[in-house]
Amino acid sequence: MKFLKTVSSIALATSLAFTANSVLAKKDETIKVGVLHSLTGTMAISETTLKDTVLMMIEEQNKKGGLLGKKLEAVVVDPASNWPLFAEKTRELISKEKAEVIFGCWTSVSRKSVLPVLEELNGLLFYPVQYEGEESSKNVFYTGASPNQQAIPAVDYLMNELEVKRWVLAGTDYVYPRTTNKILEAYLKSKGVADEDIMINYTPFGHSDWQSIVSDVKKFGKTGKKTAVVSTINGDANVPFYKELANQGISAEDIPVVAFSVGEEELSGIDTKPLVGHLAAWNYFQSVEGKENAAFIKQWKKFTKDPKRVTNDPMEATYIGFQMWVKAVEKAGTTDTDKVEQAMIGITAANLTGGVAVMNKNHHLSKPVLIGEIQDDGQLEVVWETEGLVAGDAWSNFLPGSKDIIADWTKPIKCGNYNRKTKKCSGQEY
């Protein structure tokens, strides 16, 4: 009897192993795409949308017949808005799940957390959010805006079109606003703005009591010179900030606010009537008319089964990144990181707002920059756009430390941190 038990258990084990083997064989026929966006925790509010976008793109690509004759398979993990967990999940995606590419991250701190893992395991990440720049990794493609594709054009607009003379740089206290404001301060001073005409203010995450700050801004703007607020305030804290502005009677005509973190998604959680006329600078707005955009919006509403869902800039950046990756893989004929990385440079993809985006040698995109005004229906309407494409700068020209540094991932430089003066590559410093 005991013998029988052993035999049967062995048989069972072999058959199990066999099925496992065949499952593995089948899985080999797909190309795995890692999706590294927080689905729980603080950042879920923004990042779930991007997870859905990637899933939608994969579904569409599979309908077209997949890639290199194989189907794409999404591997979704949840780093739960926990920065160290981002690194762990990246390791899991690359080593265990064998993901060929990862679409993910939102905050800069999460990106910084996954960088060492990506470089150690030679993975590939597409990062779709506007950020502070001062970085270029061989293993990352930055499809969101760098400061010269968002902040600088916005300041130019205020300076030239609205004749703003006094500046409030308000931001949440973390790396993106601090670096962006440093760049902006240097830029404004280079344009001849005096020290006393610049006011810089930082607030904690989720700050909700804006009474004294808005009251200070109001006083700052009462000297007779046109004043504007350049806001790098992080998503959530914007609602009480704008509410306080409206309540204290500051309209967009008195003191316009231009924001870099407020898009359609954030506005869908606010009653926007008091905000009409305030500005946002992005590379994409849902309201832009065009065939590609209309099709994309339609597809998105169908995919999410929600006719009221809005699209936003990081979604477009994800879309462009995905299209580019598909093209690069087709061009390289493989999903091998090094080959795809080289194939990526020079690849173009259609913008949803018309025209094409180009991937540059520094792993940043050339894209158009749009300035929009908030409307009472929560949409943003374009009031100004750059003439042509603006090439993303990995290293800002307005910071003393990074003036001479460029990133160039083609031969002979092949470096993300190359000093043109000393002709030295400092490697990647984090």
Near other proteins in 134-163, by CB under 8 A: 161-162
Cα→Cα distances 12→5, 15, 132, Å: 10, 5, 57
Size of site (CB under 8 A) for other proteins: 52
CA atoms of 54 and 61, how far apart (whole Å): 10
Among positions 350-379, residues that touch other proteins (CB under 8 A) are 373, 375-376
Does the protein bind other proteins through residue 212 (CB under 8 A)? Answer: yes
Task: Indicate which single residue of 88, 119, 216, 292 sits in contact with other proteins (rule: CB under 8 A).
Answer: 216
Q: Binding to other proteins by residue 386, rule CB under 8 A?
A: no
Give the Å distances, CA to CA, from 392 to 14, 18, 204: 56, 51, 29
Largest Cα–Cα distance of the chain, in whole Å?
98
Binding-site member from 75, 270, 297, 425 for other proteins (CB under 8 A): 270
Distances (CA, A) of 331 to 120, 286, 334, 381: 25, 31, 8, 37
Residue 427 neighbours by CB distance under 10 Å: 9
Interface pick for other proteins out of 28, 29, 60, 271 (rule CB under 8 A): 271
The reply on whether position 321 binds other proteins by CB under 8 A is no
Using the minimum distance from each CB to other proteins, give the nearer residue, 60 or 161.
161
Q: DSSP class of residue 416?
A: E
The 8-class DSSP code of residue 402 comes to G
Closest CB to other proteins among residues 111, 207: 207
Of 79, 133, 153, 240, which lies in the binding site for other proteins, with binding defined by CB under 8 A? 240
23-62 positions binding other proteins, by CB under 8 A: 40, 42, 44-45, 48
Question: Per CB under 8 A, which of residues 183..202 are in contact with other proteins?
Answer: 201-202
Q: Does 173 bind other proteins (CB under 8 A)?
A: yes
Nearer to other proteins, 176 or 409 (CB): 176
State CA 241 to chain mean position distance. Answer: 23
User: What's the helix, strand, coil split of the chain in %, to 5?
Assistant: 45, 20, 35
Query: What phi-psi label fits residue 62: left (phi over 0), alpha (psi between -120 and 50 degrees) or beta?
Result: alpha
Q: How far is the CB of 398 from other proteins (least distance, A)?
A: 24
Residue 243 structure tokens: 């509410």
Q: What are phi and psi of 392, to 5 degrees?
A: -70, 135
Stretch that binds other proteins, among 221-229, 297-305, 331-339, 393-401 (CB under 8 A): 221-229
CB of 209 to other proteins, least distance (A): 5
Taking a C-beta distance cutoff of 8 angstroms, is the pair 156, 171 a contact? no
> Among 61-69, 129-137, 268-276, 328-336, which window interacts with other proteins (CB under 8 A)?
268-276
Nearest to 245 by CA among 234, 237, 255: 255
Binds other proteins by CB under 8 A, chosen from 23, 28, 122, 204: 204
Q: Note the residues at the interface with other proteins (CB under 8 A).
A: 40, 42, 44-45, 48, 161-162, 173, 201-204, 206-209, 211-213, 215-216, 222-224, 236, 239-240, 243-244, 246-249, 252-253, 256, 265-266, 268-271, 274, 276-277, 279, 373, 375-376, 381, 383-384
